Amino acid sequence: MDLKNYELVVGLEVHAELNTASKIYCSCRNAFGMEVNTQCCPVCMGMPGTLPTLNEKVVEYAAKMGYALNCTINSVSKQDRKNYFYPDLPKAYQISQFDKPLCEHGWVELDNGKKIRLTRIHIEEDAGKLVHERGDTYVDYNRAGVPLIEIVTEPDFRSIDEVREYVEKLQILMKYIGVSDAKMQEGSLRCDVNISVRPAGSDALGTRTEIKNMNSFTYIARAMEYEMARQIDLLESGEPVVQETLRYNVDTGETESMRGKEDAQDYRYFREPDLVAIAVSPEEVEALRSALPELPDQKYARYTGELGLPAEDARLLTKYRRAAEFFDAASQGMANPKPAANLILGSIFRYLETDSAKEDFRLPFDAAEFQKLLVFLNDGKIRMNLAKSTLEKMLETGKPVSELLSADDLSGVDENALRAACEAAISANPAAAADYRAGKEKAVKALIGAVMKATKGRADAVKAEALLVSLLKN
């Protein structure tokens, strides 16, 4: 099997649970991890005689996402019944949107400039959750009626890396605008992967399969790798690829058939008779646009363009909204914002060890206190190594800069004291001095370190190196 002879073709359906206070069609609490079947009512359990009422916040959140993804927000859309039978679907149908969705025709730009086309974004209700225990299956209806948006792409992906980047961008964007926590490990962000292969150079689409409910970047990659290889093996052996819905078995590393792949006609869509049309005025769209924060791509462009940050630094900062906001507040008015970025990505990110900690970004001091440290650094009153050690003490103790930096710290090191420290470093480290004189220029680093230690980080490292080199050569 030669993968180079084939091209991967993928389209995605990303489902995100919206973090509204209540469910989409009833007043039940929308919360994760609650006791089984305690967050449900006759409406979300589909009891006879109940009627749904649309949560206005769901439309607002979905429209926000649509605007952020360059979609057209339709002034009028409707809701439809999607009919299918599954044990976790109490009504035997799902309220969704079919031919008139809320948002259409957007795009997401990847880092390489490629635009992934979005077909639509629509709202719908989630189903319940099947719980398998000791050979029996139970249903938890807490999740039934949780509001979802489904973001559907065209089959524009040609690699696993493109899929990963796209889903990561969606995840970050949802957190930025506050519509979803997008926690894949909790199932609030899930991905259906529609995948096919075709001979390299062909324009025809192959028969696709759909891998359902992927909620891990690692497993998405592994499932795609396996399914691509499986389909190529079938084609090369002269067997057809069957259109079907698959699950990924994490234990075997293989995809497994769940059922035949449905088409739209199989769901017998028809307009939901118990709900009126959704109308969104131009004024409401403009209000949503105005309420949006600076988006990740916009922040990235500003950081790399206006502020001159390295691309990787800008990427890491924009990944976490609160970290980016902290950086913006602390570096405001600074002629050189790079030290702020370096300290956040270094000392502060080491302090906030996990992704969730970086997202929460809880520190024992605020951006204004951090800025005081930056002012001393940018004004040349302290050096970067002293700034780092002071920041680490701030993180450990929560004490303000004024208590951690003494008058001596801020006074720097005069020329006489610097010379004395350099001479002492050479005397105390004869081996490093000998190595430098023998032509090993990197040996001076050890001597600089000794000087900085002796001066408690107050010395200018550049001046110290120049003086050390001069003393060693004489």
CA distance 127 to 27: 16
**Are 79 and 93 within 8 A, CB to CB?**
no
Domain match, 352 and 432 both: no
Burial degree of 61 (CB within 10 A; 0-12, 13-18, 19+): buried
Domain match, 403 and 333 both: yes
pLDDT tens digit sequence for 408-429: 566 566 778 888 889 899 989 9
Confidence of residue 263 (pLDDT cuts 50, 70, 90): low
In this prediction, residue 258 carries a pLDDT of 84
Distance in angstroms between the alpha carbons of the first and the last residue of the chain: 68
User: What is the average per-residue pLDDT within 369-386?
Assistant: 87
CA distance 15 to 189: 6
CA distances from 454 to 162, 412, 422, 426 (A): 51, 13, 9, 12
Q: Residue 363 is part of which domain span?
A: 294-411
Domain match, 82 and 155 both: yes
Q: Is the pLDDT of residue 459 over 80?
A: no
Domain match, 353 and 267 both: no
Q: Is the pLDDT of residue 316 over 90?
A: yes
* Domain termination residue (choose one: 257, 287, 317): 287
pLDDT tens digit sequence for 97-147: 999 999 999 999 999 999 999 999 999 999 998 888 888 999 999 999 999
Domain match, 241 and 390 both: no
- Taking alpha carbons only, the member of 384, 388, 374, 380 closest to residue 411 is 380
Domain match, 383 and 336 both: yes
Domain match, 315 and 419 both: no
Domain match, 147 and 256 both: yes
pTM beyond 0.95: the answer is no
Domain match, 422 and 277 both: no
For residue 425, the domain's CATH number is 1.10.10
% the chain with pLDDT above 90: 68
User: What is the average per-residue pLDDT within 39-43?
Assistant: 94
Q: What is the dihedral of CA 106, 59, 359, 161, to 10 degrees?
A: -30
How high is the mean pLDDT of the chain? Answer: 91
In this prediction, residue 407 carries a pLDDT of 61
The owner of tokens 């769209």 is: 285
CA distance 253 to 258: 16
Q: Is the pLDDT of residue 1 over 60?
A: no
DSSP letter for 239, please: P
Domain count along the chain? 3
Domain match, 38 and 127 both: yes
* Domain termination residue (choose one: 363, 381, 411): 411
* Domain termination residue (choose one: 287, 319, 334): 287
- Taking alpha carbons only, the member of 217, 173, 169 closest to residue 191 is 217
Domain match, 221 and 79 both: yes
Domain match, 10 and 80 both: yes
